[in-house]
Amino acid sequence: MNIEARESTYHYGVMRRAIELIDDGGEDLTLEQLAARMDMSPAHFQRLFSAWVGVSPKRYQQYLRLGHAKALLRDRFTTLQASHAVGLSGSGRLHDLFLRWEAMSPGEYARKGDGLRIFWGWFDSPFGLALVMGTEKGICGLAFAAETGAEPAMADMRARWPQAEFTEDPAALRPLAEAAFAQKGETALHMIGAPLQIKVWEALLRIPSGHVSTYSELALAIGSPRAVRAVGTAVGRNPVSWLIPCHRALRKSGALGGYHWGLPVKRAMLAYEAARDEDNPAQDARAAG
């Protein structure tokens, strides 16, 4: 792992410790107090967080609070347009990242990856160590190991396509992965799932960065308003976390709901996006457009 990668992993670890402190009654800690609890000088803590998320620790702190999900539902809720005819290919923009996606056919999915060659590699990300998998058509898997551990994350992803041939080749994936985590340039997704899952994942792609929706809204968007439980399962089975933004799906109550790679990662993603989008309103407007 290079120096830049180690620094980014370190940043996530510090943020994870900050979440624990804030949850333990430290919501009102000053910058100086929070930095001291992290065994850092205020200046170092300020620089680290500003480098990681682009805003000051004090502003970021408000997005880590447990009530942030309810505030998002109140202020940044997205109603998805209901549609029975969701296409199987498309494109969109996440910040400065142009994202293309293509879905595997139901017949190909039923073969559980038989005849499919999947490349994989470990990369650093804003949310710790990440496992990226991809085919010749694009990224098909993105898992975060900070909470689960590397071996369980790998086993989880391989089990989704048990008949596929897996080849370690980070060089083949590096341009796609670097664009994905920097959210700049262009990357492609190869969506491998059942037809209902793909509809749900495409609906997730319509939630702008910094905004959230609910499981019931997703069910309405795919034309199956009563299938909220099935939609929740499909959200949980999303193999391309972060880029297919299942972290933006919340319960109506404002509870975070589950997250396959650990709730601290989900909270970090929501806080990261909200802080960045508030700091870049023009970018946020493009995402919502």
Supply the residues annotated as catalytic.
246
Selection from 133, 187, 129 nearest residue 161 by Cα:
133
Categorise residue 85: left if φ over 0, alpha if ψ from -120 to 50, beta otherwise.
beta
Selection from 103, 133, 287, 117 nearest residue 201 by Cα:
103
What the block records as the tokens of 171 is 């060089």
Spatial distance between the Cα atoms of 219 and 232, rounded to a whole number of angstroms: 9
Structure letter (DSSP) for residue 77: B
Spatial distance between the Cα atoms of 76 and 233, rounded to a whole number of angstroms: 24
With beta carbons less than 8 A apart as the criterion, state whether 79 and 213 touch. yes
Can you spell out the DSSP letters for 228-280?
A: HHHHHHHHHT-SBTTTS-GGGEE-TTS-----TT-HHHHHHHHHHHHHHHHH-
- 104 three-state secondary structure: coil
What the block records as the tokens of 287 is 């995402």
